[in-house]
Structure 1
Amino acid sequence: MGYVNWQRHVWIFLGLIAFFGMPMCRGTTDPRDVFAINSLYAALGFPILPGWVPIGGDPCAEHWQGVQCVNANITGIVLSGANLGGELGDGLQDFTSVIQMDLSNNHIGGSIPSNLPPTVRSFFLSGNQFTGSIPNTLSSLGQLADLSLNDNRLTGNIPDAFQPLVGLVNLDLSGNNLSGQLPPSLGNLSSLTTLHLQNNQLTGVLNVLQDLPLNDLDIENNSFSGPIPANLLNIPNFRRAGNPFNTTVIPSPPAFAPSPSPSRAPSPELTTGQRAFAPTVPIIISDSGPGGKFLTTKRVTWIAIAGVLTFIVVALGLCLYMSRCCKGSQPSSKITKRHEMSEYNDLEKKPKNSEPFPKLYSPLEKGYKEADLRPALRHGNDHETNSFRLKPVAERTDFKTTVTIPERKEDHRIDMTELDVDFLTPPPPPPFLQVDEDTADPILSSLTMTRPPNRSVRTFTISSLQEYTNSFSQENLIGEGMLGTVYRAELPSGKILAVKKLNAAACRKQSNEDFLELVLSVSKLHHPNVVALLGFCAEHGEKLLVYEYCGNGTLYDALHTDDETHKKLSWNMRIRLALGAARALEYLHEVCQPTIVHKNFKSANILLDDELGVRVSDGGLAPLAPSISASQLSGYGYGAPELELGSYTSQSDVYSFGVVMLELLTGKTSYDRLRPRGEQFLVRWAVPRLHDIDALSRMVDPSLNGAYSTKALSRFADIISLCLQPEPEFRPPMSEIVENLLLMI
């Protein structure tokens, strides 16, 4: 070990000599970054990495493997799975502009240094052999958004160093030997959405996490105890098995409160879109058993009855006392309590397993025939999208509609046999919707946006979409993306549609009003290369979009998975596909007002119709996209360099378009971890070869069999090179790209 340390110090000394006196200082890369990366290279033990040299060098100009640059500064070091050893050393703080550092899945050991790069936003050290504790100097990383230290050998307590890290979104400390209680400063992470702490030895309670905006929390296999805060039970993805939590009583509002407050959080036992109507009593929940939590219904009933009797006795006594003091007064409170008691008894008579309001994909029990369930759009900052209010029969002035639907065939089918409800009738159109009787369809609701008369966007009921998709069955599943899953839907007329069922994260991004505004905006997109939005559904907290159907799948499928379609992709066909996609982006960027930035342009979002014509999907849906870090976008292989600086513009779409053109040229995916290390990211491998005609010819998809001219190949490569310029201001607008592609046809 002493020899290794001595050797490292020698190399650092040589690096200092190079820094102050060698001619490498005249290179492209900032000399301070050159010194820092030379120090890191020495600490790692000088592994064999293409382009890397132990002293001096020009990492940016020479395209060192895994080194990302913006202008003259190193902004990223991505060497995941590069079989690295050694240690990190103490020179990371010398990097002046590094934003992403991904050294995961290697064999790096030693402790995590206390001197960390202050500009880093994404710091991934997972899957290594780090020992010791997590340094307190995490607090110096004020721009940190993603931190992964999982699957190492770290010990000790989690440091109380998170107070300044208000921008931290994802934190993964799982798979270590961390112990002790959660530090109080974790409660200050106001942007944290993902927290993984599983497989450690952590103890104490979870109160510090209860106010965080988490949607993914994993604390399995620790020693957490005490009650689970109610807010945590509402997290969509909460995994907590393997902890000795205590049995506790979750506090709730008084048993005879009036109708539930619109802002009250749903019970943890209810799925998205459900509300509890019955008067609330304490519910005893246990997490220690193998089945999770259970409800002791008998005990709840007796507690409720006792509470009712006690309340009545107190009320009667109060009324008698008031009648003696004020003879002229009327005991109205007694009448009121009788009415509330009657309402409570009616609710208690419901079947034991009945749900207080219908789940979207669960059977409905009979009951609530004396209740009026009416959907209402919520206002304000509520997280839920619909509220349903309970209305006594005596107050009803409208008629009831009895809906009878055949018994469900699968678990996803709604069984609404003999259910008396009026919320299945589509609600009245919002202010910007109007009924278009000329385009009315007897099967669909005929609400149309105020827009040109040649296109209408229609509302669908959930029950109709379930019917058309066979209860969203697996055989009708088309694909799954960032926003949700897409299903094939067949109308009784035989017409085929595509239904995008938005996931929970996308649904939470907008209220119903904002969602309808988005539908209005997207429905105005009219272009032959943009997939058309035909309808939507917004019921019970669910949001779905209905599009025209494209029978040949996606460009990703055609290039990488569908051999039959791949054979049809001649050189000229690939140019036409690129032209169609370019025209779609040109329309979004330069015709639409205001400009629409796609923000998720990739081959999987380019649909192909029956004639292999291009239809770009997800245009205008960026507001629904969940918060994704720049490192995640870059990890897909489509992210432009400026994403690391927190910037995304229309020129970032141009970069993504260049990646798609590379896929058309090479037949390779944008990222493939199974390829050799130097070829995993298509852009890094291909860009240095674009201006070498021999290397370029070897890059072309072999299935083309040389059926193209050298001149056409060179022009295609020139367009790709322009799109993939590191600086966004040097990338051409899409209209210029369209003109260049037209010259090739």
Structure 2
Amino acid sequence: MHHFVARCFLLFLGTLVSLVHSKTDSPDVSALNVMFKSLHTPSQLSGWKSSGGDPCGDSWEGIKCSDSSVTEIDLRDHNLSGQLGYQLSSLSSVKIFDVSKNNLNGDIPYQLPPNAQRIDLSENSFDGTVPYSISQMTNLEEINLGHNKLKGQLSDMFAKIQKLKSFDVSDNQLSDKLPSSLANLSNLNTLHLQNNQFTGTINVLTDLPLNDLNVENNKFTGWIPDELKGIDNLKTGGNSWSTGPAPPPPPGVQHRRRPNNEEENSEGSKISLRNGLLIGFSCLGAVTLLLFLICICTMRRRSPPPSSHFLDEDIVSRRKGFTPLHSQELGTEAYVGILKEPKDFKSTDPGNGDIKSLLKSPSMGLRRSVSSRVSFSENEFANRLKGRRSTSVQVVPYSLADLQKSTDNFAPGRLLGEGTFGRVYRAKYPDGKVLAVKMIDSSLFQGQKAEEFSKLVTNISKLHHPNITELVGYCSEQGKNMLIYDYFRNGSLHEFLHVADDFSKPLTWNTRVRIALGVARGVEYLHDVCSPSMVHKNIKSSNILLDLELSPHLSGCGMASFHQHTSQNLGMGYNAPECIQPSAYTLRSDVYSFGVVMLEILTGRMPVDEQKPISEQCLVKWASPQLHDTDALIRMVDPALRGLYPPKSLFADIVALCVQPDPEHRAPISEVVQALVRLVQQSALNMKEDLSSSCRTTDSEYEIV
């Protein structure tokens, strides 16, 4: 009997010990499971599992914990390969994250451990860009991304990470100018930028408390500021510095100077004298001010109330432009505002700029409310509209010489891309204006009269809609024909979804719905407003450009007449089954192409991907049978969303209406618009109900539609 009691006690004790040790927070476990699989389940990581487990209780290699939370991940020099997964943002208690000196590749995950103080990803093979999400990591003190293959520019991401003491991006392929927000890093001691392709000056570093600065082997120009020459460890070789004396700073600009020892003694005596003079003048000034105040009180004049425009200026000065890379999205109220009067907007004049129609578009004016959410302001948008669209956009002729100068003679470095009709270049002007110049392939005009280009320009210039790129100019000289548009700095939807640009990825679900609705309205304008109706013939994600507010603008409109020459080059995977010949394109063919774009938005997959298994290479064929299967649909959703979407808002039914094989069974675009409108309305209603029914729900959980 005693033995039985003893065995029961030992069993209970073992169970209790097991429960004490099996304590790791489930989000941490899930994130490490995903990371382990993304690293190709390396055997050298003892204790790690691809599903479940207890990292803290079972002492997974490289993992340190505090209570039930993972606080440190140290996997440096473990001969690891693969990637880091997409759930690092769940590791909210991790302070140190070090995976340096491995063979990791691909993109640095857009979301890193959000509260990390030290991150070291150096000496790997990461490519892509420096993720903008770093801008939200306010506890970050050290980050080392050196010795990788990162490219692109450093974005303006440093305004909020003022605890940063050390920043290293050396030995990469980064380019362009240093961002102005670097000047906000008031605690930065170490900055290593060497062995990149940075350009411009380093004046933005002037007032930083640096004691270790290395900018060697870049393409910096200008002068090394005197304020930086006193840095203890300064390396500046291998750049194109200007010779001769540096010009004086602009009037009113003063920088902190680093004095040497002799200067300190001299400066000390000067300060003492200056302080004495200041005290004397201060006393005299105080007496004068007292006499002045007595005079004012005696006169008893009533000052006029402040002019209202000062208040307006103060409000405007506090407004910040919408940052496309934050996850700040339109709230419920904003969506309700968008969808008031959700009828098909019609217009007899494509260029009338009807304000009610525009107010229903995602291209609305945006301002930040006190709660940091982006909210909708009808008055603000109306004012912008009045100033921007009171008259039709004036399409102006540009000279070839002017365009050659602004594009560096169409230099390869200014090439934005090559599309169906030719190449697109970025044109920069001294006043800061940037345009996109589409040089149309001359072969498209073979056998056509010279006035055909003039007719093309006339037709495109009549298109005015907030979700369609507007023509601003043209050039036709020396056999070259060019169309000129505004330049969209955020690139295309294709780049956001597929090119793994960590500067702007991933798009949240709110943004994806806004983009889908905006593109649908642009197509509706072409089909139902223009007279005669206009078939686009080339709707694809690379032709959907995104502005700074991530509002979509459909490009390539009005070019359908050239498709008989270029049908073989159209986007693979977007063409409807009936579009074997260019003449077979119809309005319903556009609807099919738009449905493919919606599938891209939903799944994050390419329309055709030969890297996938054969059964999954064609997106439409793979997805269509699963659109009405709830469980399968959830598995189809883009993993980059990390589950941050309400399942009822997935527009699978709308997609199914668009990608029907028989064009007669496809919905017209006006019905697609209305279906999206109803979806957003219902999602907004559900969101309100969910918010009111749960007192534990935070705003961040409902940053989605």
TM-score normalised according to structure 2 size: 0.40
Report the TM-score, using the length of structure 1 for normalisation: 0.38
Relative contact order, CA 8 A, sep 6+: which one is greater?
Answer: 2
